[in-house]
A and B are shown apart, each in its own frame.
Chain A
């Protein structure tokens, strides 16, 4: 049924339709509306056979999720930003133990400097945690990916993060198609654990593993993610059969067939990029965009297949690895390195801490890329004047003061604020 609603509430509806049995959460903006929504539905009896547990911290949220998932309950939680960092030890345990928890990450920057706005630094910091990470482009896809995530997680016995842009998606009202309970039930069978703490067939979960077997257990974690590379497109296909929509999958190409320049990105910025690509196509520029939905596992073959004919790729990412540059860009380069494919590749860091990514900036960026007139690493819309002023200050004065405070002063003396 088509509805105009907030992204967070759409996700809450999707989670409810998945018949979760334990929801444990500690509220942290911008995902708060999601757990508020499911909390209300549990209380009102709209989600039956489900326990909603208010925990005292994010660390407790993931710990409770581990416990409930290990006893065979379909388990959901949500977090963002510092909240995700606070639960990290348990995040690694959830994947290391192979527990199929589904967690929404309403993507947000991590501090310091403290910042409540959107970028991808939080979930990308958990790149190597062993969780599957799927990135939604729209609220419809966020909703759909949650339904797919439970099935994917439970088939593989691996936890899945569904990543959606904080505020930009979570707080946006847009049209979504809410599926029926019958559709979701047809797609997602009741949870049948591959491992479970069961008093009738007792096992222990969480053995200490020494050097004699640690590598083998860790390899199997990798093997399972490789299995996900096959399962993710298969589930997207099954999903389409029942729900009639293209959602999920590994990657999503748009106008890439004959493209000389292919932009690669994740999440909601793909929409703005598609609009820019359409305008440039109208002007005769051979440009396309490849959305990466599955960041972990990273679909090396699918990415290579989509870009191998291009002259260049522009990887635009909402986070970066301080001290080297791109993260997604490094993965993209891995996809074609050693295959005898000659592609120029440019890394663009954009949208950090909620800075809007505008069509105007993207036009300029992609035009420069088309002329191969772009540095290998670009920070989109970086204010060099402000940066250089601070660098100068640091050169001249030993006690030059905290960078964030200095830069804020410099910015507020020049910027015209909208509101």
Chain B
């Protein structure tokens, strides 16, 4: 079972992202279960959503406490929420930011991490560029597809079409495609660097 935890703030489409991840996984014939952290839904408040992906029926209903991957939609959460709680060693980390892990003060935390499991992406900018709204969720989901390889970009696009239509869907697909390519290029260069080191 592969478990993903998504942290963000109310209004950033955190819950939608987890639901779309489950749809993308379903489209690839996996079993998937997405659910939110059922808090009071207020704009700006910290929100957590979860997604499990497995090859058999998922019966477990507890929150994800030891995720294989983290998507952090808002880097300001790093100061207030223990987003890394329980993250498995060498788990995937994708953060929505223009900064690097070092600039976020995470150099020590990720010191021994494989470089191709870490990525930052300016996803809010991609949302603004392609959808006209500061929504980082879909670009991050596509970035996560590139980073983890757990789902394909095509499946993310199918999930976009399941959730949105018309111009919004088209904008999200363009944002997702750009995010996917950006992250894929970064992961490839990280792997090359690691091979040369």
A residues near B, CB below 8 A? 2, 4, 6, 116-118, 138, 167-168, 171-175, 268-272, 274-275, 354, 356-359, 416-419
Contacts and interface: CB of A to CB of B under 8 A. Distances in A.
A345 B96 CA distance: 51
Given A419-B7, A419-B47, A173 B19 contact: yes
Interface stretch (B55-63, B107-115, B131-139): B55-63
Contacts of A174: 22, 31-34, 58
B79 interface: no
Nearest to A118: B38
Nearest to B20: A173
B22 A275 contact: no
Contact-size category for B: 20 to 34
15 contacts: A117-B38, A171-B38, A172-B34, A172-B35, A173-B35, A175-B31, A270-B59, A272-B59, A274-B59, A275-B59, A359-B62, A416-B85, A418-B85, A419-B37, A419-B47
Given A172-B33, A419-B46, 15 more contacts: A2-B26, A4-B23, A171-B35, A172-B35, A173-B34, A174-B22, A175-B31, A175-B32, A272-B59, A356-B63, A357-B62, A358-B65, A418-B48, A418-B81, A419-B77
Contacts of B22: 4, 173-174
Which of A173, A356, A359, A417 has the most chain B CB atoms closer than 10 A to its own CB? A173
A91 to B, nearest CB: 26
B43 interface: no
Given A4-B23, A357-B62, A416-B82, A168 B48 contact: no
A253 to B, nearest CB: 15
Given A117-B38, A356-B63, A416-B82, A173 B48 contact: no
B32 A272 contact: no
B34 A356 contact: no
B103 to A, nearest CB: 23
B39 interface: yes
A115 B48 CA distance: 19
A354 B61 contact: no
A356 B62 contact: yes
Contacts of B91: none
Contacts of A4: 22-23, 26-27, 32
What 3 pairs across the A-B complex have the smallest Cβ distances? A271-B59, A4-B26, A419-B46
Contacts, number: 83
Which of A116, A175, A268, A418 has the most chain B CB atoms closer than 10 A to its own CB? A418
Nearest to A6: B19
Nearest to A359: B62
Contacts of A118: 38
Interface of B: 7, 18-19, 22-23, 26-27, 31-40, 46-48, 58-63, 65, 77, 81-83, 85
A169 B23 CA distance: 16
A2 B27 CA distance: 10
Nearest to A140: B57
Nearest to A30: B38
A275 B32 CA distance: 16
A164 to B, nearest CB: 12
Which of B31, B35, B82 has the most chain A CB atoms closer than 10 A to its own CB? B35
Given A116-B40, A418-B85, A419-B48, A173 B33 contact: yes
Contacts of B47: 419
B34 to A, nearest CB: 4
A419 B39 contact: yes
Contact of B38 (A269, A354, A358): A354
A357 B60 CA distance: 10
Given A175-B32, A418-B37, A358 B62 contact: yes
Given A174-B58, A272-B60, A272-B61, A417 B81 contact: yes
A117 B83 CA distance: 22
Nearest to B21: A173
B93 to A, nearest CB: 16
A36 to B, nearest CB: 15
Contacts of B18: 173
B62 A175 contact: no
A117 B36 CA distance: 12
Nearest to A357: B62
Contact of A168 (B31, B35, B59): B35
Contacts of A358: 62, 65
Which of A2, A175, A275 has the most chain B CB atoms closer than 10 A to its own CB? A175
Which of A168, A268, A416, A419 has the most chain B CB atoms closer than 10 A to its own CB? A419
A172 B22 CA distance: 10
Contacts of B85: 416, 418
A290 to B, nearest CB: 15
Nearest to B7: A419
A270 B33 CA distance: 16
B46 A357 contact: no
Nearest to B36: A171
Contact of B60 (A116, A354, A359, A419): A359
